[in-house]
Structures are given as structure tokens and as C-alpha cells.
Amino acid sequence: MEPILKGRGLVKRYGRVTALDHCDFDLYPGEILAVIGDNGAGKSSLIKAVSGAVIPDEGDVYLDGKKVNFHSPIDARNEGIETVYQTLAMSPALSIADNMFMGRELRKPGFRGKFLRQLDRPKMEKIARDKLSELGLMTIQNINQAVETLSGGQRQGVAVARAAAFGSKVIILDEPTAALGVKESRRVLELIQDVKSRGIPIILISHNMPHVFEVADRIHIHRLGKRLCVIKPDEYTMSDAVAFMTGAKEPPTEKNAA
């Protein structure tokens, strides 16, 4: 099967720091791929390279087998790739609805939208509210609240809701549950399954091994800026995975064993 999103020989250097070192990457249609690795292993750099947020110094990215050159996250978004970045990428002073529709605002129908370019606030607010409710983010009282007045977890919830609402081809989640409570984490995991059942593949970066082993179809283990190996969660234990990613144990020899 052809990977839906593929990276080959990706290199990204920040000055003298090498974040990605000839890294390969494969995401297959309809799967949940977890990416795990130590802090600073280069996981975020990898997903930024495939989502247009950084332009790799070397290497190629392929979408549906065709080489793509994303120059900005907008390019990737236009291809249906939606990302929740670790930093969440939200404008603190703007409202939840404004943030959810940033860069794809809905305009009023007719004259006011076409010529006065007026935004359709009620519609955007309604959709935003629905998406948050789907995620179980019931503690958000006011959809016009500025994002800076939300708790860290609520903010993360809004970012996840935004990606889930708009992703049509690939959804990338960089530590989406790091700040979430028990209930909200569970909802995000359910949401991930839900998105998968819609046929959309997901990249999930997480340090939470139980979560990873629960939802992932395959686990990409990242170490020192490259893919060390890919394992299947039912063939290895969590402690094996941790041992591989920290270098305590040799990885399985065939790189694409899984």
C-alpha cells in the first residue's frame, strides 16, 4: 500500500543543532500512527516538516505519492492536513470562535458578505460551540471568551476541536492530551477513534504510553533526529518501547518490521 504521507531523508538544522537527521517517515491510509521519543528527539520538528511549518533543509515530502513543497502551514491546510502544534498556535486576545476559524472565516451570505466582506459571527459561534460540545468541553461558558482567559487544558481542547473540525486528509496531534484532565483526555482518545472511523489517518505524538498503546496501529519510535524503528503495539510491551526510544535496548533489526 502506498503511504498517504511520506517523508524521505528529511534534514532540519537550527544553527549547530540538528533536529532531523535524514529522517524517513510513513503514514498509511486510515491508520493511527503514534510517534514517541525522548524530549528533544525531533518529533515536533518532524511533524512541522511534513505540515509546512518548517521547510526542511534536505529531503522530500510526498502526499498520495506526489512530491509536495509546502511553503507554509496554509499550503498543507489547503491539502487537508490539519495540525495541533505543541504550542497550540492560538491568538490569546481573540475569541474561541475567531481562533477556530482563523484563516477560513465564514462570511455572511449575500451583499454584506460579498461586498462588505462581513463575517458571519453567529454561524461561526454556533459551529464552534458544537465542536466543543462534541469534545465534551462543557466547562467553557462563553464562546466569545478570549482564549487567554481559558485554562491550559481548555485551550488545548479548543485546538484539538479546531483540527478535528477541519482536517479532511490527515490530522496531526502534537501532544494533544498533555494538559488535559481525565475526562477530556478520554474524549480526545474517543475523538481520535472517531476520526479514524471517518477514514482519516492520524499522527499522534504523545509521552503517555498507555494512551499510545491503546489507540495506535503502529508506533514510530524517534531517536536522535531519525526514525529508529516502527513497532506494532501488540508485538511489544510498553517497557520495550521505552527501552528502544531511550537506547537501553537494540531495536528490532528490520526497520519496517511492522
Partner 1 sequence: MSTDQNFETGLQGSSNKVAEFDNHDASFLKRFQHALHVTPSLVPLIVLLISLIIFGVLLGSKFFSPFALTLILQQVAIVGIVGAAQSVVILTAGIDLSVGAIMVLSSVVMGQFTFRYGLPPELAVACGLACGAICGFINGWLIAVMKLPPFIVTLGMWQIILATNFLYSANETIRSQDIANQAPLLQLFGEKIKVGGAVFTYGVIFLVLLVLMLAYVLRHTAWGRHVYAVGDDPEAAELSGVNVKRILISVYMLAGVICAFAGWALIGRIGSVSPTSGQLANIESITAVVIGGISLFGGRGSIMGMFFGALIVGVFTLGLRLLGADAQWTFLLIGALIIGAVAVDQWIRKVSV
Site for ligand ATP, rule CB under 6 A: 14, 17, 19, 37, 39-45, 86
Give the containing element (helix H, strand E) for 154.
helix 152-166
Does position 15 interact with partner 1 (CB under 8 A)? The reply is no
Our finding on whether 139 is near partner 1 (CB under 8 A) is yes
For partner 1, the closer of residues 21 and 190 by Cβ is 190
Number of alpha helices (DSSP H) and beta strands (DSSP E) in the chain: 9, 10
* Closer by beta carbon to ligand ATP, 37 or else 251: 37
- Alpha-carbon torsion, ordered 75, 76, 79, 84, to 10 deg: -140
Tell the smallest beta-carbon distance from residue 208 to ligand ATP (Å): 12
141 binds, among ligand ATP, partner 1, Mg ion, none (CB under 5 to 8 A by kind): partner 1
Least spacing, CB of residue 20 vs ligand ATP, in Å: 8
Contacts of 119 (CB under 8 A, 6+ apart): 105, 106, 107, 108
| Range 159-198, binding partner 1 (CB under 8 A) | 162, 182-183, 186
Q: How far apart are CA 208 and CA 211, in angstroms?
A: 5
User: How far is it, in rounded angstroms, from Cα 83 to Cα 96?
Assistant: 17
Phi-psi domain of 70 (left: phi exceeds 0; alpha: psi -120 through 50; beta: other): beta
Nearer of residues 12 and 131 to ligand ATP, judged by Cβ: 12
Site for partner 1 contains 87 (CB under 8 A) = yes
Which of the listed partners (partner 1, ligand ATP, Mg ion, none) does 73 bind, with a CB threshold of 5 to 8 Å by partner kind? Answer: partner 1
Q: Can you tell me the distance from the alpha carbon of 176 to that of 22, in angstroms, rounded to the nearest whole number? A: 26
Residue nearest Mg ion, Cβ-based: 44
Q: Is 210 in the site for partner 1 (CB under 8 A)?
A: yes
Contacts to partner 1 from residues 34-73, by CB under 8 A: 53, 72-73
39 binds, among ligand ATP, Mg ion, partner 1, none (CB under 5 to 8 A by kind): ligand ATP
Helix (H, G, I), strand (E, B) or coil at 33: strand
45 is in the binding site of which of Mg ion, partner 1, ligand ATP, none (Cβ under 5 to 8 A by kind)? ligand ATP
Q: Is 81 helix (H, G, I), strand (E, B) or coil?
A: strand
Asked if residues 4 and 28 have their Cβ atoms less than 8 Å apart, the reply is yes
Q: In terms of Cα–Cα distance, which of 26, 4, 32 is closest to 197?
A: 32
Q: Where do contacts with partner 1 occur on this chain (CB under 8 A)?
A: 53, 72-74, 77, 83, 85, 87-94, 98-99, 102-105, 107, 116-119, 129, 133, 136, 138-141, 149, 162, 182-183, 186, 210, 213-214, 238
